[in-house]
Structure 1
Amino acid sequence: MSGQVYIGTSGWNYDSWRDDFYHGIPRKNWLRFCAEHFNSIEVNASFYRLQSKETFRRWHDATPADFRFAIKGNRFLTHNKKLADPLPAIRLERDHARGLGEKLAAVIWQLPRPFRKNMERLQLFARALESWPRARHAIEFRHDSWFDDEVAACLRTHHIAVCQSDAADWPLWDAVTTDMVYVRLHGHAVTYASAYGTRELGQWAKRIHRWLKQGRNVHVYFDNDALGAAPRNAQALAALAGCN
C-alpha cells in the first residue's frame, strides 16, 4: 500500500519571488499560480495572525479540488502560553479553519527554541487536540530535550506526527510516530535562506519513497524563502519524488 505525498512551500506571499518565480503575475493570482505548480502549501501567516473563516474560504475556492493546505498553529498558544490551557485556543483555530473544508490536511504546531521538555504540558495539549479530529497534527520541536522515547510514545498514543525540521540553527529529530510524516526544510546551511542542492534533495526523495512504500502520507514544505529558493526547491523535489 502506498501513501500520498504533498510538496510545496511555507507561504506564498513573498515579494522576493515577484520577478523570478511569479515573473510579473499580479499578487492577487499568486496562490492560484502556486496551486498550478504544487499540490499543497503550508499557511505560514496563521502563525502570526489568526485568519478569518472568510479568508480560509477564499483560499479554498481559489485552488483545485485535489489541492491541500497545511496551516501553522497560532503562536499565542505555542509561544505565549507554551501549551498551557490549550483547549480554548485550539477550538478557536479549529472553528476558523473550517473555511478550508476538506482541503485542510494538517496543522503544524511549532514550539519556541528555548522551550524545554515539559511532559505535563505536552500531554495536556495532546489530549486537547482530540477536539480537532478532522485534521492531522504535527509538532515541531526545536530543543533537543524533547527528543526521547517518552515524548515519542505520547505522540504515538495521540496520533501526532513529529515534524522533521531541517535548519542550521536547531537540531533535527527524525522520529516517525504516525502514518503521516511532516517535514519542514528551512535551509540546511543558512536558516530561511540557503538552497538545497541536487544531492540533498535526492536524499530527501529517497526518504519520501521509503515512507510512501510504508503506506504513510508525507508532507514536505520548504521555508527557505528569503532568497527565493523555496519554490524552485519544491519543484525539484516534486520531480525527484515523481509527483509532478
Structure 2
Amino acid sequence: MSDAPAPKPASSVRIGCAGWSIPTRAAHLFGAGDSHLERYATRFDVVEINSSFYRPHQSKTYSRWADTVPSGFRFSVKLPRQITHEARLVEADTLLGEFLDQVAGLGAKLGGFLVQLPPSLVLDMRVAKAFFGLMRQRVEVPIACEPRHPSWFDADATDLWEGFSLTRVGADPARVAGAESPAGPKSARWSYWRLHGSPRMYYSRYEDPVLEQLAPRLVQRGTATAQAWCIFDNTAGGHAVEDAARLQQLVSDDSTR
C-alpha cells in the first residue's frame, strides 16, 4: 500500500519539483494514477514546468495537464530560452505573446511564471523595464525572476522588483552573494526558492540539516496572501522528489509547533 498523503488544500507553503518524473525508488511516496503527473499530484500541490524553456507546448497540452490535477494544484511555467537567452528580453513581443497564449490553457491552475536569465545578461534597466512592463500588461499572476549576473543584485534592481511586483528567486547554489534568499516587495505575492543541488548542481541530494534550516524560513515567509514556494531542481540523480517529500514533512512538523 502507498504511504502517499491525500491531496491537501492550498496552503501558504507549496513544495514541489521541476517536472513530475517519479524515480522507481520513490514510487511508494505517491498514490495511484494513470500518468506520472496524476500520481505526482497525489503528494505535491505544485510543479514547475521546465520543458517550456526548450520547446513550445500547444494550449491543448496545457489544458490536458490542468485537467489531470486537483483544483488546488498550481503550475509555474518557465519562459522559453528564445525569450530569455536568445532574444535576451529585447523585442520579444511576438515570442512572449505566443507563449502566453499557449500557457493560457492552464486556466486558473496557472500559479505564475519563472524568468531565468543567463549568467552573462547584465542588467539594463531600459530593457528590463520594457520587458517586464510588457509582461505585466498581459498577466496578473506572480512573476519570479532568477538573475545570475551580479548587476541584478545592486540597489538599482530594487526599483525593478517593486515597480513590476516581481520576486527575485532564492537560488542554491548561489552564484552571487545574497542570491540564496528571495527578495522583492510584498505585492509580489510570492517567495520562490529553487534548489538546484549542491555541491554538484542537478545531481546532489540535500542533507537533512540543510532542509531543517530551510523549513522554518518557508513557514515564516508563507502567508495567506503571499505564498512561499520551494522547487527542487536536482532531478538528474533523481533526488528532487525525495528531498521535496522530506522538506514537506519538516514544514508540516514546524507548522504544528
**TM-score by shorter chain over 0.5:** yes
Q: 1:38 and 1:211 mapped to 2: Cα distance?
A: 19
Select the residue among 123, 138, 143 that pairs with 2:144. 138
Tell me the residue number matched to 2:238: 228
1:22 equivalent in alignment to 2:32: no
Q: Say yes or no: does 1:79 pair with 2:89.
A: no
Aligned CA distance change for structure 1 residues 176 and 214 (closer, same or farther; 3 Å)? farther
**1:214 shift after superposition:** 8.9
Q: Is the 8 A contact 2:12 2:223 kept in 1?
A: no
Of stretches 213-222 and 184-193 in structure 1, the one that deviates more from structure 2 is 213-222
Contact 1:136 1:160 in 2 (8 A): yes
Indicate the residue corresponding to 1:99 in structure 2: 105
- Number of the residue aligned with 2:199: 189
Does the 8 Å contact 1:86/1:124 carry over to 2?
no
- Could you tell me whether the CA contact under 8 Å between 1:182 and 1:218 is conserved in 2? yes
Could you tell me which amino acid in structure 1 is paired with residue 216 of structure 2?
K
| 3-state secondary structure, aligned to 2:248 | helix
Which residue of structure 1 aligns with residue 75 of structure 2? 69
Q: Distance in 2 between matches of 1:26 and 1:66?
A: 18
SS in 2 for 1:70: strand
Q: Which has the higher contact order (CA 8 A, sep 6+)?
A: 1
* CA distance 1:232–1:211, shift in 2 (3 Å): same
Match for residue 164 of structure 1 among 170, 175, 193: 170
Q: CA distance change for structure 1 residues 129 and 222 in 2, over 3 Å: closer, same or farther?
A: same
Listed as ranges, the gaps of 5+ residues in structure 1 are none
Question: CA separation in 2, counterparts of 1:208 and 1:175?
Answer: 11
The aligned counterpart of 1:8 is 16
The question of 1:179 aligning with 2:186 is answered: no
What amino acid is aligned across from residue 183 of structure 2 in structure 1?
V
User: Contact conserved, 1:184 with 1:221, CA < 8 A, in 2?
Assistant: yes
| One-letter amino acid of the counterpart of residue 62, structure 2 | F
**What are the Cα deviations for residues 196-220 of structure 1, in whole angstroms up to 9, with x where unaligned?**
1111111111211221259521111
1:228 maps to a residue whose letter is G
1:22 Cα offset (Å): 3.4
Q: Give 1:86 shift.
A: 2.7
2:3 maps to none
CA RMSD of aligned residues (A): 2.3
For 2:169, the aligned partner's letter is: C
Cα displacement (A) at 1:135? 2.2
Q: Which runs of 5+ in 2 are unaligned?
A: 1-10
TM (norm. structure 2) is 0.86
Distance apart, 1:19 and its partner CA: 2.3
Determine what percentage of the aligned residue pairs are the same residue.
30
Closer/same/farther in 2, CA of residues 173 and 233 from structure 1, 3 Å limit: closer
SS in 1 for 2:27: coil
- Give CA-to-partner distance per residue, 1:139-174, whole Å, 9 cap, x none: 111112210121122111110110111127x23252
Point out the more displaced range, 214-223 or 138-147.
214-223
- 2-side partners of 1:211 and 1:94: how far apart? 28
Q: Tell me the SS of whatever aligns to 1:107.
A: strand
One-letter amino acid of the structure 1 residue matched with residue 158 of structure 2: A
Change (3 A) 1:28 1:52: farther
Give the Cα–Cα distance (whole angstroms) in 1 for the partners of residues 98 and 211 of structure 2: 37
1:33-56 Cα shifts (integer Å, max 9, x gaps): 110110100001011011110110
TM-score by length of 1: 0.90
Specify the alignment match of 1:209 in structure 2: 219
Residue 157 (structure 2) pairs with residue 151 (structure 1): yes
